[in-house]
Every structure is written in structure tokens, then in C-alpha cells.
Structure 1
Amino acid sequence: MHRRLFVKLGMITLCAPQLITRRAAANENGFKVTYFDVPAIRGSRDVTAAGEGRIWVCGQRNGTLGLFDPRDQNLRVIPLGEGAAPHGVITDKDGAAWVTEGGQNAIARVDPISLKVELFRLPAERANANLNTAVFDQAGVLWFTGQNGIYGRFEPKTTRMDVFDAPRGRGPYGMTRTPSGEVWYASLAGNHIARIDTGTAKVSIVEPPTANQGARRVWTDSKNRVWVSEWNSGNVSAYDTVARTWQTWKLPGDRPRTYSVYVDDKDKVWLTDFSANAIVRFDPEAQAFTSFASDKAGANVRQMDGRPGEAWGGESGQNRLVRIQIQTPA
């Protein structure tokens, strides 16, 4: 049985972090890049839209979740509990944040209004799952991954939690849900992607064409293609779940290390390249890459997300957020 806990902790409100604006040299007229210092969110990593123009961001190194409003640059910091080390964050239809909380081996829910933290711990026999990413299926069930060889599901209405052994052990990492309702995850250590049957919870493995590629993150586009960031190979690849075919592209530069993948509402693909210290935008129609190098070394942008007209990331190495706004159709 999992344990359900409420965390009663103080909340810090910070105002007006330093704002720095830079334009991307790659397309000065088409994009605007803005950096926001958020020093109270240490290790600012995975982000997601929070509604009303705001952004949720995980502070992995100090066990916090941040709620940032770029309009007035107000930052609210929510401690998640003793020993917390949040990894991923998504939102539900009511705007609540759901966090894969690796430090406490729990799924955390943060209320969007009260900011109260509720923890749903994994069963004791599933300690140290190394929780990574979560996604909701069409029925509102939360599915999640753990790099130490598990995937699981959590039913918010009943608080039932089930945890399963991944078919090839260690590696389950990023997750996505396609428009048709399929749930997929990437296995970094297992070098594959996999579809979860949300009815039976069984897994079907699909092998990318590049061996030992290090499939890290996945994100769907509007055409039911699953885009994959390949950490070891430096590729981005796309698996057409309907035609069951692959396409693969190498990121520009020497020895790219592709970490994040996010597909925006125009089916443009946003990636992060740790070797180039850059965010990279890929246009599948034009077959063109545009790079946005950070103005500080060691930015290490983790999982990106966004909303129409803008893409967001967390510079985990600099305790900053980065926003790229599309100024003109590109």
C-alpha cells in the first residue's frame, strides 16, 4: 500500500528576479530570448505551463517547486518536504502540478490555489525507484517512470497506485501521450522506446534504428509521431506510430548530446544540446535547425515545455529560466 501524506511547510514569496534579455543570432528578427534568474529554485530543471501565463519549475537541488509569473517576475517557492529532489512536473485539467518526487520516492500534487503539497508515496518494497517523468492518459490516470527499472500508474480519484517492473530493467525515463491516446516512454539505459497498454499495463518495445542511442525523452506531435531525443548518438528521431516507420537526424555541431525534446503547437521540435550549451529548434518541413546558445556556460537546459508562441526551459546549471518567443511566423 502507498502512503498518502500532506506536507505542511512554509512558503516563500520572492519578487522581481534579475531580468536579462538577449536576441538569438541565428534569426534575430524571428525570435526573442529572455533569461530570468530564479536563485531560490536551485537546479531549475523541468518546466511546464501553469496557466494564467505562469510557469511551474522544479528545483531539484533544494527540494522545491517554483511558480513563476514572467509578467511581474513574481516567484513563489513551495518546499516539497524533507529530502525532496523533484525531477518532472506536469499539470492536470484543474491546473494542479503533479511532480515525480525522486527524493521522497513519491508522486506529489501541488494545489494551484492554496499551493498545499500532497504526497503519494510508492510502496515500501519499491524504494529508490529514481522517479523521472509522468503523463496523464485519456481517462485521467497518471502514468510514471523510474530509472531504476519501473513504471507505474496512479488513480487520483481512488489514490490506488500500481508499480510494475520494466521489461528490460533499468532505464525508463521520458513519457508522452499521443493524440490518439497511446502512452509511450523512453528507456535511456535500455536504448528503446515502449508503448504502455493503458488497459492491461503491458509494454510493447520498439527499437530505434540507431544502436545504443540512449533514448532519453519523448514527445508527440499532432500526427501521432513520437519524437525521441537520443543522448548517446546526438540524434533526434521520429517514430510514426501509424506507419511504424522511423526518421532520424543528427543535430548540428561536433558530438551533440541531445537531452530534451518538446514539440510545440506548430509541430516544430525543440531540443537541448548539452555539448553546444544550446537550445536547438528543428523544423521538420524545412529540414532546418536553428540554435540558441546560452550566454552563460554550463546552462544544462533540462526538459522543455511551452505554450503557443513561446518555448520555455530551465537552466539547471545556472538557476535560471529561459523563454524563446516567436516574433514572426518562421
Structure 2
Amino acid sequence: MRQKIRAVLIASALLWFVFPVQAQGQRRGPPVQLPEGIGQELVQAHCTSCHRLNQIANSWGYTREGWEELFSSMVALPSDQAELVAGYLATHYPVRPAPEAVKIPGKTNVSIKEWVLPSLGSRPHDPLAAADGSVWWTGQWSSVLGRLDPETGVMKEHPLPPDSGPHGLAEDAMGNVWFTGISQNYIGKLNPATGEVTQYPVSKEGARGPHTPIFDQTGTLWFTLQSGMVGRLVPETGAMTIVSTPSDNTYPYGIVVNSVGVPWYVDFRGNRLGSVDPKTMEIREYALPNPEARPRRIAITPDDVLWYSDYARGYLGRFDPATGDVQEWPSPGGSESQPYGIAAVGSIVWYSESAVRPNTLVRFDTETESFQTWVIPSGGGVVRNMMATSTGDLVLACSGVNRVALVEVSDN
């Protein structure tokens, strides 16, 4: 059953964003006791409104200027309060040793341009390179979908039903933007011209957390779910089918579709990939050689070879479905670099290392097996996903620093 909702309740969406539930910031892990000092109460009051204090205590730390730039992307404070907060954080949480970005030169040039999003603290999760050249993002913490015109810098946000927690994005042939409402367990379709949102509830028993969506060549939408399942939605009828993976305790995460319409996904909770028969929805799993592998995102090159970011081990992996062969390369940033968002342009694989300071953009030439890297100007703040544009450039969602980025690529 479909539920159509006019996404015009701007006041409600803003109230949810400005006054989120206090418990949301402290719901996991032991509570953190902030050190005493001038500015402590301000940090306690403002920072716990949307995240846990252990994200501060366990961070790599920043300079005074770095802290101010970071929290200014989350909340707008009066200048006197901002001074106190920045001073407190820099004093008690200064820069600490951390895995540093490894810079590898090469012949390719990139230009990285970033935009701070209108809703502070939005935490963009996934980007979308739309057919008209615009860049979209999911504002997961503010429950909005945003659109950027990179030519003019003009941005517009479309409010969604409160607490939708939009996660992944996909565009259909008519320009509608589809998303996964991970917090409210639905698949959504936004009509950009009218702002109308159509909801397709995930109603199968035990199914929860619709995650990453992608369209196949016929216009059918496929999506992964956090509950160890993969789903299929036929937009024309609204028919939704969800199946469980053969293995228990799985977490289907990134997903792609190959040249003949077969969806492939990676399991972030195990050392495996899976394929889905597009007609029967039978899932076949393929184990990776290393039991510690935890592939998080997946890309596909024109030869239908699959590439994955092994988040847990710090590797880039290659899986050939035709032969079952697996190859792996250590990521330049090392075993703790946590490769995450990934995309392919022709024979070039791009991804980001999310646990080096600053985050890096990595280029891997699959023909020469060579790496080249760049640092992301804002630091990246964990690039959870990226997507190639029709012209061979890239769009990124820089989650923790509340930005989206356009990477323009040129080869010498």
C-alpha cells in the first residue's frame, strides 16, 4: 500500500531538527564525564542534543580553529559562546596522534570543491549525481533531501516526514529521487517539481533498516536492508518483495547491478558478497578468502568485475564473478585506514579512506595497479558514499563536516 504525503510540514521538520530527543545523544556506551572548565556547561548543553559525548572524547582532537570550524557546521552559536566552546574543546581535547593521510603523486589532476549544507548538523550520508548535472544528498539527521546546482551554488532542501532518517539515493528515468527512510522503515519517492513524497512501507515481518537503493535497467528498484535482507520494488505497481540472505546475522550494505541486470551486494557483517537472481530473488553467497574481511561498499567496472572497500582490514578488493578469483591491495593509508565510499569510472576505481587525517580520495588504476591520492580539503569527516557523474567526475558526501563535494577530474 502506498501512502502519499505532501512534504510541506516545514515547521515540524525544523522543530525535530532543532530540538531532537536528548537521549539520542547518549543512547549507546557508558556516559562521558566532561572535564571541569570554562565552557563545560555549553558543550554539555549543545553537543549532547544530537550526538554522544564519546564522539568528542574519542576523537583525534583539533586546534581551536579546527574545533570552531567543525561545530559551526553543526550548530550556530553566538560569537561569545562559540569562543568559550572552542577554547574549552581545544584545551581538553587537543590534537592527538592519528593515522595520517599518505599522499601519493601521479599524473591525474583533480579539483575538489565543497559546499556547506543549509541545515547545520544534517550529516549527509549519501550523494547522488543526477542526470541534469545537479548534486543531491540525504540529510540524515535533519530528515531532508537536498539539491545543489554546482554551476550557481544554489541549494534547496526538501523536508521529509519527521525522523525519516534518509540514507541512500537513486534517480529514476523521470527525474524522481528515491531514498531509503531508514529510521521509519520505508522506501520514499520525491517529486522534485512538487515536493510530494510517496511512501512505500517496508511491512515484511522482521524487515528493518532499508539501506542502499539502486535501479536496474528495467526501472526496478533494488535495496539492501540492515536486517539481513535484500528487497525489490516495482515502481509501476508498488509491489515489494523482500528475501533473507542464506546466512544468518548478515548486513547487506552496498549494492550494484551488473550489465545483465543482476544485483550484487557486500555483507558488512561477514567476509562475503552476494548475488540476487532478478527473477526468482534467489541469493547466492560468495565467501572472501580472509575471514576478517568486512566489505562495506561495492563498485563495478565495465567488465562486470566487482570492487569492494574492505573497511575492517584496510584493503581494496577485486572479485571476478566469472572465475571466483579474488585479488586484494593494501590501501595506501594502511590497515587502519577504513576504506569506505567507492565508485568506478571506466577502468579506474575511486574510494575514500575514512580513518586517516585528513580523509583521502584514492585513485586506483586497475590496468597498471597503481595508486594516487589526494587529501580532502575539509578533512572529509567520513565519506560514507560517492558516485560517478555522467562526465566521469565524482560527487561525495562528507558526513561529519556537513558538506557535499564535486571532484572534477582531468588527466595529463
Give the alignment's TM-score, normalised by structure 2.
Answer: 0.72
Aligned to 2:373: 291
Structure 2 counterparts to residues 48-63 of structure 1, below 5 A: 48-63=128-143
Within the alignment, does 1:78 sit opposite 2:158 as a pair? yes
CA deviation map 1:193-251 (0-9, x unaligned): 00000111110001122222111111211001011111111111111122332221110
**In 1, distance between residues paired with 2:193 and 2:269?**
38
Aligned to 2:410: 327
Aligned to 2:353: 273
- SS of residue in 1 equivalent to 2:205: helix
**In 2, distance between residues paired with 1:132 and 1:87?**
6
- SS of residue in 2 equivalent to 1:53: coil
**In 2, distance between residues paired with 1:282 and 1:66?**
30
Which residue type is aligned with residue 283 of structure 1? D
CA deviation map 1:62-113 (0-9, x unaligned): 1111111111111110111111101110111122111011011000111132
Aligned to 1:144: 223
Which residue type is aligned with residue 314 of structure 1? A
Q: Is the 1:7–1:119 contact (alpha carbons within 8 Å) kept by the matching residues of 2?
A: no
Aligned to 2:119: 40
**In 2, distance between residues paired with 1:28 and 1:77?**
37
Aligned to 2:338: 257
**In 1, distance between residues paired with 2:395 and 2:152?**
17
In our comparison, the structure showing a higher alpha carbon Rg is 2
How many equivalent pairs are there?
Answer: 316
**In 2, distance between residues paired with 1:244 and 1:165?**
23
**In 2, distance between residues paired with 1:309 and 1:152?**
29
Higher share in strand:
1
Deviation at 1:139, TM superposition (A): 2.6
Shift in alpha-carbon separation, 1:140–1:52, aligned structure 2, 3 A: closer
**In 2, distance between residues paired with 1:33 and 1:8?**
32
Which residue type is aligned with residue 367 of structure 2? E
Within the alignment, does 1:160 sit opposite 2:239 as a pair? yes
Aligned to 1:309: 392
Aligned to 2:214: 135
**In 2, distance between residues paired with 1:52 and 1:137?**
19
Deviation at 1:297, TM superposition (A): 4.1
- SS of residue in 2 equivalent to 1:317: helix
CA deviation map 1:27-53 (0-9, x unaligned): 597221111111426101211112221
Which residue type is aligned with residue 341 of structure 2? S
Shift in alpha-carbon separation, 1:203–1:59, aligned structure 2, 3 A: same
Within the alignment, does 1:200 sit opposite 2:257 as a pair? no
Shift in alpha-carbon separation, 1:94–1:298, aligned structure 2, 3 A: closer
* Structure 1: gaps (5+ residues): 13-17, 19-23
The share of aligned pairs that are identical, in percent, is 27
Which residue type is aligned with residue 84 of structure 1? S
Shift in alpha-carbon separation, 1:281–1:98, aligned structure 2, 3 A: same
Shift in alpha-carbon separation, 1:288–1:155, aligned structure 2, 3 A: same
Higher share in helix:
2
Q: What's the Cα RMSD here? A: 2.2
**In 1, distance between residues paired with 2:410 and 2:380?**
27
Within the alignment, does 1:115 sit opposite 2:195 as a pair? yes
* Structure 2: gaps (5+ residues): 12-72, 74-102
